Amino acid sequence: MVVETRADRAGWLNGIADNYLRVRLEGPESLCGELVAVQVIGREGTDVIGRLI
């Protein structure tokens, strides 16, 4: 996924996966603009929750 912005919750980031799903994950703001690998661990509303792998 590509990390785009910091999320509303402290320590969370927003991004978009290659299949255009919106993904949220915990991580440092320094990942913004980076391509990262994530594992899907759940969902919240229309967002997918992931973790860095």
Q: What percent of the chain stands above pLDDT 70? A: 100
What are the residues facing 52 on neighbouring strands? 38
- Which two three-digit tokens encode residue 4? 């785009």
In this prediction the pTM is 0.84
CA distance 39 to 43: 12
Tokens 């919106």, residue located? 22
pLDDT at 7: 83
Flag whether pLDDT at 48 surpasses 90: yes
Task: Name the DSSP letter for residue 43.
Answer: E
- Let me know: does 19 contact 50? Beta carbons within 8 Å: no
Domain that holds residue 17: 2-52
The rounded mean pLDDT for the chain is: 93
Domain count, the chain: 1
pLDDT at 8: 79
Dump pLDDT digits (tens) for 9-34. Answer: 788 999 999 999 999 999 999 999 99
